[in-house]
Structure 1
Amino acid sequence: MFSGMIFIFAPLVVGYLISISKNSALETINKMTSYLIYVILFLMGLSLAALDNLGQNLQLIIKFTATFFICISLCNLAVLPLIDKLYPIHTDNKSSKLPLASMALESARLILVVGGGLIAGLLAGMDLDWVDTASEWILFLLLFFIGIQLRNSGLTLRQILINRQGMLIALVIVGSSLIGGVISAYILDIDLYRGLAMASGFGWYSLAGILMGDAFGPVYGGASFMLELLRELVALIMIPMLIRIKPCTSIGYAGATAMDFTLPVIQSTGGVRCVPIAIVSGFILSLLVPILMLFFVSLAV
């Protein structure tokens, strides 16, 4: 049952064991990771083009995306305000204009890459049986680089453990998201473990879409990618509006992106006190995405 999980998870573990001190080497790995994400998302588009009844499957992707997004978001937002009430954060009261449009454009670019793969696959008229194999090998390399990035993120175990709010936010997101996954699986009448796997992306759209696509095919991969990307876009809008009155809610809803993509928004609108909380929460969730998702994938029928 767990052989497939171990096979996929091994590159992440091996990468996490590697410590790199040279900044130039880390920058190279970061660039290679970004390039690999674009490549594998393009391959995801190609795999969508290879589907029979493409129109019907696209409707299914939209249905899955909408159901999981609504259920998970409602569960997250029902619990996160309790942390603000129990452990309030005093944010810096200042206003700041952010280039939210340019940040949203980066997310839109990823959608265009998938769309480009889809169009290329439809127009090429070639055999696409090689796409799944190529995606798997690129996935292994991507997980290896991600493991290195997590190891060299600058956070020690002690820094994580002493930040109570960051840990609590991450645990609440995990618990409430999984509840949303169970509800979504019931509504969509799909396997429970597939629903739990779908709910374990926590905003990491690139990795979540890749893992789900590799495990269950391009319909699940596309839905997972769109689900987590939609979460990030909503977080970009929500954080500036709510972070001064609900900082823990804003940080938590950002999910795994709180330690990277949405961190500038959190820092600029919430102040420096929010930064360590966001980094710890985002780091824990980023670490749990491959662990939980691969675990539930291994249990799914």
Structure 2
Amino acid sequence: MPTLRKVFVPSLVIILTLNGCTNGPVGDTSVFLNTPDLVAFWTFGEEAGQQRTSVGGSQPHSLSEVGGPIARADVGPFSGYSAYFDGKQYLSIPYKETGDLNICGPDAQVSMFAVVKIYDLRQSRTIAGMWSEGKGRDDDSGTRQYAMLMNMPTYGGPKQLVPHISAEGGVTMRADSTKFPWCADYAATKQEVPEERWCTLAFTYDGKYIKAYIDGVLDERAPDPVNDKRDDPYFMQEGPGGANRGMNPYYHGRGIFCYDPEIHGDTKPGGGSDFTVGARYAVGEMLGEATIGYFGGLAVFDRALTDEEVLKVHEASNIAALRKLDEK
């Protein structure tokens, strides 16, 4: 008989089987491996205490645990398992080892796709990315690049999916060189991120527009300048042809920040951002906004997937089957 262990999460008690998978994979990994420009794909089949190593792509990428072992749950789309984050741990690849995950430059493109079950979105949470924010408001020492985040109410994204792209690494700068107190460049979905049930979350950036997807569908949203706190001229007049930037899709169009120690060594002494899963460096610490929930799959591509491709990888994740397994 497998060993059983109770793991407590908000409003739910989950029984994890630690010595053998009771449910096999329900998704199709081949769809991800056959999608062009895959950089890394994690299926989270490893036991607690082990590195989580990617499949696909031209380079292997191994995520190391930070903050202690991350439990393995016996349900997941691609390996039959998932990683459970309790808000006190995360996974990381040091900046110097990020390799082709270090996606940056004026013409860079990126897409990220995740199969997750998220708990407690009362504050900002992180899926993954290269995103180091520095010490807080008005601090320009960050080395942000790209990230898939959740719940960012500052500019109209409370509990929504809010993928970010930064051109500066630090705070966002207007055309007249004045600065925002934070990074303001993100799309925001119309609906909230589902909580306590399996879903897929994704974003794409094609060098111009950031697009956010929930369960395989682009969740389009028009700006509401007053309610979204986006009435600043940066949002309303610095988009294409002097128009507004939109909300989802959101016009960024300024590329992705590249850390250069010769250029940024003095102003950004913390160095380039690590690639992290489940947490990010924000307001001077890593775990203040760490994620609680299950990660069943995570993929990064170095181009913008089409709407059809996002839907295809969503369908390959077989969310309906995952939800049925949860009902057992």
**Fold similarity call, TM over 0.5:** no
Which structure: greater helix fraction? 1
Q: Give the structure-2-normalised TM-score.
A: 0.22
Q: Give the structure-1-normalised TM-score.
A: 0.24
* Greater length-normalized contact order (CA 8 Å, ≥ 6 residues apart): 1
